[in-house]
Amino acid sequence: MRPTVSTSSRASALRRFVPLLDWSRSYTRETLSNDLIAAVIVTIMLIPQSLAYALLAGLPPEAGIYASIVPIILYAVFGTSRALAVGPVAVVSLMTAAAIGQVADAGTMGYAVAALTLAFLSGAVLLAMGVLRLGFLANFLSHPVIAGFITASGILIAASQLKHILGIPAQGHSLIAMIGSLIDNLGQTSTMTLILGVGATAFLFWVRKGLKPLLRRAGVGARAADIATKAGPVAAVAVTTALTWGLGLDAQGVAVVGSVPQSLPPLTLPSFDPALLRQLLVPALLISVIGFVESISVAQTLAARRRQRIDPDQELIGLGAANLGAAFTGGFPVTGGFSRSVVNFDAGAETPAAGAFTAAGLAIAAVALTPLVYYLPKATLAATIIVAVLSLVDFTILRKTWDYSRADFFAVAATILLTLGLGVEAGVSAGVILSIGLHLYKTSRPHVAEVGLVPGTQHFRNVNRYTVETAEHVLTLRVDESLYFVNARFLEDLIQDRTGGDTPLRHVILMCSAVNEIDFSALESLESINRRLTDLGIGLHLSEVKGPVMDRLRKSHLLQDLNGRIYQSQFDAWMDLTRRIKEPAA
């Protein structure tokens, strides 16, 4: 029997690390049909989107398609989300351009190699985090701060594409630099490019809001109307490409995509030059964290709709494998995209096989359809990007955080301003630092409430919120936070202030029902509090200490040196200590 159990255990572990072996066992013909339909819809959407995000990253258009083939297949093997669609996304593409633009000039071989190297490092970081089960680190990024960063990034991305809409040269990694460069070169605006760019942008905005209701009123089915809406960018690409070719607009100053190789993703090698690796390591780490946060947020949201489960650590491995795949097949950093994943989900994708079928569709496009995009105006791709990223801009986060938490508001506002003013790398670095700083600030000043007995019950509540019974000689403080090095001194100072001067206090009770941990720094503070109260003739007592916390305290000298008692419940502590005070007078 033992070998059977061992074999079963190994098979279970293998399915956990290769989820493909799990979901493929229940794959049916109906599932295949749903996945194929979803793949067709997503492929139609991804062809112009992949080209556009390669343009945003400063890479040849084919790099966007390459980055959408092998990475999708690898994620289908190792990822746990049934609907997540992996590939180039706007924010990561912008971060890629900002990172590799500092080590190489756009359009050079060194720039492309740097993109491969960045994808390799990002994949290695994600894979290492997955193996070490560090998915929880994403929780250190505040969601409001991330929302602020994405909002600012959306504005930066849209601003960076205005040069293609206007047909002028411009550069800069911050909003101020971009606007200044655009103003300086405004006199070189190409009229035909502007007409195409503005027309494509207006059309795409209309498609998003107006096409589906129009088709529904015309009697078109909901599914067909939805597909037509998703295919809007393809229509913009087809029309503007035909106009450019037919009217010879490329000769009139309209910049076009030009020749795109007809081939499957090539085998490529990132650079292992130590100097380049050092330069790109921090950007790769930031891209990995932001990409993972965006991806896991989308994956968990979609999984919840179908009551499915996402394993964050396995997601790290899936995304890591996808980025390594991009590094060795001519791509650049990728992650799970919001828009394409929602489209994939709404189109009926049931398993990651839909992603694999999408990759097959893109591979066919890479081999057979690339000559058709020779006359595709870059202004159309820019319009596609602008319309896509402006949906990410959400300034309501400022109002919401202002109303709810001023600390969160200032963190979000600082992230937005720093991203717009200093660029995406400074913004994301600030976001990480602010998220951690916000957590430390909040926990450094824990809520400590003086509580009293609610009459007729055994419950204790805040004396400032409820009508409760208190005793002049007994002070009960409920600590609503774990105690650790950041806030240990705060509690020590608070008790010192409450017991200073001429006080009638004889007992202080720390109600620990909300304390999940006491680290060594906090232990030393409790010992210091105990010594001080002993010198003042005041007893220090603990109540409702949780089991794991008590287990740790038993390993210390605090329990032996404590001048008071430890009570199982706050009511027991109250009854015993108030009785003790009354006894001498009896």
Residue 475 sits at φ, ψ, to 5 deg, of -115, 125
323-347: pLDDT as tens digits: 999 999 999 999 988 777 877 887 7
Q: Which two tokens stand for residue 203?
A: 């059309």
- Contact call for residues 340 and 87 (beta carbons, < 8 A): yes
Share of residues in the chain with pLDDT > 70 (%): 96
483-494: pLDDT as tens digits: 999 998 999 999
Residue type, 468: V
Query: Helices (H) and strands (E) in the chain — how many of each?
Result: 26, 8
CA proximity to 265, closest of 73, 105, 109 = 73
209-256: pLDDT as tens digits: 888 888 888 888 877 787 777 777 888 888 999 999 999 999 988 999
In the chain, what are the domains?
A: 9-437 (no CATH), 448-585 (3.30.750.24)
- Assign 1 a pLDDT band (cuts: 50, 70, 90): very low
CA angle 68, 70, 72 (to 5 degrees): 60
- Contact call for residues 148 and 393 (beta carbons, < 8 A): no
Could you say which DSSP state residue 539 is in? E
Share of residues in the chain with pLDDT > 90 (%): 48
DSSP secondary structure of 421-467: HH-HHHHHHHHHHHHHHHHHHHHHS--EEEEEEPTTSS-EEETTTS-
What pTM does this model have? 0.76
Quote the strand ranges of 254-371, DSSP E. 335-336
CA proximity to 52, closest of 340, 460, 466, 418 = 340
DSSP secondary structure of 95-115: HHHHHHTTTS-TTSHHHHHHH
Plot region of 404 (φ>0 → left; ψ -120 to 50 → alpha; else → beta): alpha
- Contact call for residues 317 and 131 (beta carbons, < 8 A): yes
